């Protein structure tokens, strides 16, 4: 072998090694899958109509997860993370419990008093909260509760009342979407226990029920047993990190459970959520021993995600309350900015207090499609409407782009 051919063959070997050691993981071998992935990533910042935080901060988590081969381990958080008993399956219960204990004080619940879990979604949190309320009231009074919720609350509450066959009283809300206290008063049946959901906020307008005023109505019926569940899927994420934190504080509002989505403010990359309640509520549930799981299964789901618990724990350690305070301030600031820009061009728009949801007259279909706008209509606001939910990724630049597109569509 000549020196030249020796060097050439060395090059060939090292090139081959480079190729095998740098496999391109972005190519799955399924072009339609790769194409879809590229589209999602290039489109994500256009999504303005739904409360999805697109500033996901979980890259480090995924690197850690795969570096530790957890991607080839089957985990499941079935059962009570607070039971202290070994789980029937491999779980991350320890971290789930720490997550619940970390968040409890942000909602005015003592660490020693809290019970909770990481739910599959805001809806799943509502499902557990409402179901706990029914059992709590039944076990305390021996009577079936009446279920009160506003007509602008998220539809999951009505759906769940249907599934549980509850006696529902839909209470009318005012123009801006808040339950009307006088209407609640008219609907109250004081002979039966009261299970009430407070909307925080309402789905389309982003209204927050005036819990103090509604509590004052309930206080007129001291003999009536009450359970309050707060549906705080979106607002329950950011309000604890603002000066308005009293609005989700159990010591101030005296609610029994609260549900918050993980994939809204907190920036989970897939659905999950927090359900927080108290030991007292949990201990007044009907016992549900399942021997083969070695557990008392008071919650509704059997399997729950271990990965969600780990991601939440990761975010607490790597993002944490300091950053969430900044996020919350920025999101409310940008909401005010967006409203100002719409006002400047004289475009009809409305904004509820404490809300990051701006509602406005529905623009042309091209804009609705381009920005994934959520639509509704309300004659009190002149008919067809849309809204934008100002999440972390809805920066001033993106707001300016939207306003430019909107102005251009009006000139046409
Ligand atoms: C988003 C939302 C829900 C539903 O939560 P999911 O996590 O999507 O199931 C329920 N209530 C309110 C107030 C919401 O904003």
The CA distances from residue 380 to 114, 175, 176, 271, in Å, are: 42, 7, 10, 34
The residue with tokens 């299964």 is 297
8 A C-beta contact, residue 173 and residue 202: yes
CB of 231 closer than 6 A to ligand 1? yes
CB of 154 closer than 6 A to ligand 1? yes
pLDDT 10s digits, 236-262: 999 999 999 999 999 999 999 999 999
Q: What is the pLDDT of residue 411?
A: 86
Q: What is the pLDDT of residue 85?
A: 86
- Stretches in the chain below the pLDDT threshold 50: 18-20
Q: What is the pLDDT of residue 88?
A: 84
DSSP 24: -
8 A C-beta contact, residue 282 and residue 129: no
CA distance 131 to 359: 32
Q: If you measure from the C-alpha of residue 80 to the centroid of ligand 1, how many angstroms do you get, rounded to a whole number? A: 23
Q: Whose CA is nearest to atom 7 of ligand 1?
A: 122
| Count of helix runs (H) and strand runs (E) in the chain | 15, 13
Q: If you measure from the C-alpha of residue 154 to the centroid of ligand 1, how many angstroms do you get, rounded to a whole number? A: 7
Helix (H) or strand (E) holding 342: helix 320-344
pLDDT 10s digits, 329-349: 999 999 999 999 999 999 999
Q: Whose CA is nearest to atom 6 of ligand 1?
A: 122
CB of 273 closer than 6 A to ligand 1? yes
Q: If you measure from the C-alpha of residue 122 to the centroid of ligand 1, how many angstroms do you get, rounded to a whole number? A: 5
The residue with tokens 């219960």 is 93
pLDDT 10s digits, 13-63: 555 554 445 688 899 999 999 999 999 999 999 999 999 999 999 999 999
The residue with tokens 């997550």 is 99
> Mutation test of ligand 1: which of 126, 130, 154, 204 has the most ligand atoms closer than 8 Å to its C-beta?
154
- Could you give the 3-state DSSP secondary structure of residue 393? coil
Percent helix, strand, coil in the chain, to 5, is 45, 15, 35
Q: Provide long-range contacts, Cβ within 8 A and 24+ apart, for 61-68.
A: 61/310, 61/311, 61/314, 61/318, 64/314, 65/307, 65/310
Task: Please state the φ and ψ torsions of residue 204, each to the nearest 5 degrees.
Answer: -90, -45
8 A C-beta contact, residue 347 and residue 406: yes
State CA 213 to chain mean position distance: 25
8 A C-beta contact, residue 129 and residue 258: yes
Q: Provide long-range contacts, Cβ within 8 A and 24+ apart, for 287-295.
A: 292/88, 293/78, 293/79, 293/88, 294/79, 294/85, 294/86, 294/87, 294/88, 295/78, 295/79, 295/80, 295/83, 295/85, 295/87, 295/88
Q: What is the pLDDT of residue 201?
A: 84
Q: What is the pLDDT of residue 394?
A: 97
CB of 271 closer than 6 A to ligand 1? yes
For 334-348, b/e burial (b = at least 16 CB within 10 A) is bbebbbebbeeeeee
CB of 362 closer than 6 A to ligand 1? no
310, two tokens? 């780990």
CA distance 212 to 217: 9
Cβ neighbours for 27, distance < 8 A, ≥ 6 positions apart: 34
CB of 122 closer than 6 A to ligand 1? yes
């Amino acid at each position: 072998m000549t020196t030249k051919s020796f060097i050439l063959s060395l090059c060939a070997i090292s090139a081959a090694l480079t190729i095998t050691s740098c496999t391109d993981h972005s190519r799955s071998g399924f072009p339609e899958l790769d194409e879809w992935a590229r589209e999602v990533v290039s489109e994500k910042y256009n999504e303005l109509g739904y409360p999805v935080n697109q500033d996901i901060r979980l890259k480090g988590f995924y690197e850690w997860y795969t570096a530790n081969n957890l991607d080839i381990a089957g985990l499941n958080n079935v059962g009570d993370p607070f039971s202290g008993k070994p789980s029937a399956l491999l779980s991350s219960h320890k971290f789930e419990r720490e997550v619940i204990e970390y968040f409890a004080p942000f909602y005015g619940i003592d660490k020693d008093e809290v019970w909770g879990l990481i739910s599959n979604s805001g809806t799943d949190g509502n499902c557990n909260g409402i179901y706990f309320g029914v059992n709590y009231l039944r076990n305390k009074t021996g009577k079936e509760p009446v279920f009160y919720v506003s007509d602008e609350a998220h539809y999951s509450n009505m759906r769940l009342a249907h599934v549980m066959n509850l006696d529902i009283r839909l209470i009318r809300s005012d123009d801006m979407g808040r339950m009307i206290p006088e209407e609640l008063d008219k609907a109250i049946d004081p002979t039966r226990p009261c299970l009430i959901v407070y909307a925080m906020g309402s789905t389309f307008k982003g209204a927050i029920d005036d819990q103090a005023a509604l509590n004052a109505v309930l206080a007129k019926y001291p003999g009536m047993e009450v359970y309050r569940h707060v549906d705080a899927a979106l607002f329950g994420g950011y309000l604890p990190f603002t000066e308005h934190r009293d609005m989700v504080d159990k010591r101030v509002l005296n609610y029994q459970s609260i549900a918050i989505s993980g994939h809204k403010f907190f920036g989970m990359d897939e659905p999950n959520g927090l359900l927080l309640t108290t030991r007292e509520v949990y201990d007044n549930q009907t016992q549900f021993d399942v021997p083969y799981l070695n557990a008392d299964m008071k919650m509704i789901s059997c399997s729950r995600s271990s990965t969600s618990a780990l991601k939440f724990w990761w975010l607490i350690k790597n993002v944490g309350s300091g950053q969430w305070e900044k996020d919350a301030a920025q999101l409310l600031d940008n909401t005010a900015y967006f409203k100002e820009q719409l006002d400047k061009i004289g475009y009809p728009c409305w904004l509820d207090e404490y809300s990051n949801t701006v509602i406005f007259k529905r623009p042309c279909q091209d804009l609705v499609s381009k920005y994934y706008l959520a639509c509704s209509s309300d004659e009190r606001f002149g008919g067809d409407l849309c809204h934008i939910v100002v999440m972390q990724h809805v920066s001033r630049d993106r707001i300016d782009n939207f306003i430019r597109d909107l102005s251009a569509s009006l000139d046409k």
